Amino acid sequence: MVLYPNYVTLHRRSRLPRFLPSEDEEARIERFQQYLRIQTAHPNPDYAGAVSFLSTQARSIGLETLTIEFKPGKPVLILTWTGSDPSLPSLLLNSHIDSVPADPAHWIHPPFSAYRDSDGRIFARGAQDDKSIAIQYLEALRNLKARGFSPLRSIHVSLVPDEEIGGSDGNEKFVASEKFRMLNVGFVLDEGQASLTDEFRVFYADRLPWSLIVNAVGAPGHGSKMHDSSAVENLMECVETVARFREIQFDLVKAGIRAGSEVISVNPVYLKAGTPTPTGFVMNLQPSEAEAGFDVRLPPTESVDFLRKRIEEEWAPISRNMTYQLIQKGPNRDVTGRPLVTATDATNPWWSVFTQAISASGGKLGKPEILSSTTDARFMRQIGIPTLGFSPMSNTPILLHDHNEFLKDTVFLKGIKVYENLISDLSSFHS
């Protein structure tokens, strides 16, 4: 058996007595497992199967269902519980259906089996990112319906495609649509991330994604000739300069001066140069062109003009026969030109309700953060709707996109109770 880095951790058994779920709790866990077993990983997510399952669950609760497509084969499922005063701005709970691929060779259990071990860990791609919150939303609504709760504001759940590949055919089109406008959304909860401690994490902004492509040119020639400023030499200088910038940013994180999400990350993702042959590359020919690609994540508080200046003067100066493309991947400012951030103070009345609901559920909330990666929340923030990223997963390793992604059954069930408090308080909020 191959021992992967997290194998020992995953198999360490607790000395505490095992939690025994009730019959009702077992049914909730089973519905979570059923959703996880629907293969919604790219490149061929089973959106139809997922929407059919989720619609069936929603109708069993008594929610209205609507499926729309902005691109064929990529459905957006909208679930609605109409409030007693639907004229008030509504509450929207968002989750994406799709997930990233998973290589079974690197998993200790098949990644789409939703295997549950004796410690209650449910192994599946999407267990944390973010199929858990979709089922927790539904189970929380099921509980609220069962106890006769009546929301003041309308509650909507949106289940969208393509978040993992940028959201351009999913939430981006949905938020820009007339149908979204008709939902009269006042506040949104979207996905967050697990917490290693007993505090829940909450995110008021995402780092914004950019793609940087640098092209270098130079004189071609024999492999033995000592050119001054060849294409590959120029590109290597670019990569080394970027690496020094990256190291400085990373040092700020390691020193505790900034969080990882508060610095600019620049990571090389590909290098391209040379003349290929059926068995390799031509080794005695220096190429006239070379190219490198970088994934760039920019905190919303940083100016893209700063980044452009750095690229033009240091990373890819025209004086070294270099050009670049800095490609924006989604919005980076709201409709008024302000950064895509949600206030976490008295200026945002939803924030007070949110924090009080977390406390009432017995949970503790950590300091609000910027998310290191990027979610669909940026599309709601772009049009000025306050949006928080939140997934109630405390004392849980962060395994999104990792091998052996799992969520414990106890953490899943606790999250349902947290969402019950959040949904009841946020939908009853009098502004």
Pair (396, 407) in one structural domain: yes
Pair (60, 146) in one structural domain: yes
In a domain, 139, yes or no: yes
In a domain, 404, yes or no: yes
Record the tokens describing residue 12, joined without a space. Answer: 């360490």
In a domain, 264, yes or no: yes
Pair (229, 100) in one structural domain: no
Q: What is the DSSP letter of 182?
A: H
Q: What is the pLDDT of residue 16?
A: 53
Query: Which candidate in 129, 139, 162, 163 is catalytic?
Result: 163
Asked if residues 138 and 81 have their Cβ atoms less than 8 Å apart, the reply is: no
In a domain, 223, yes or no: yes
Pair (159, 200) in one structural domain: yes
Pair (261, 352) in one structural domain: no
In a domain, 91, yes or no: yes
Secondary structure element (H or E) that encloses residue 309, with its range: helix 304-310
User: Active-site residue 98, yes or no?
Assistant: yes
Asked if residues 84 and 151 have their Cβ atoms less than 8 Å apart, the reply is: yes
Total tally of structural domains belonging to the chain: 2
Pair (416, 279) in one structural domain: no
Pair (292, 416) in one structural domain: no
Domain residues for the domain of 40 are 7-206+339-427
- The CATH number that applies at residue 312 is 3.30.70.360
Pair (43, 174) in one structural domain: yes
In a domain, 399, yes or no: yes
**Amino acid identity for residue 167 in this structure:** G
The residue ranges of the chain whose pLDDT is under 50 are 1-14
User: Active-site residue 163, yes or no?
Assistant: yes
- The CATH number that applies at residue 159 is 3.40.630.10
Give the 3-state secondary structure of residue 290.
strand
pTM score, two decimals?
0.90
Pair (193, 119) in one structural domain: yes
Record the tokens describing residue 116, joined without a space. Answer: 């549950």
Chain segment 161-214, per-residue pLDDT in tens? 999 999 999 999 999 999 999 999 999 999 999 999 999 999 999 999 999 999
Pair (264, 395) in one structural domain: no
Pair (195, 242) in one structural domain: no
Chain segment 375-418, per-residue pLDDT in tens? 999 999 999 999 999 999 999 999 999 999 999 999 999 999 99
Pair (231, 174) in one structural domain: no
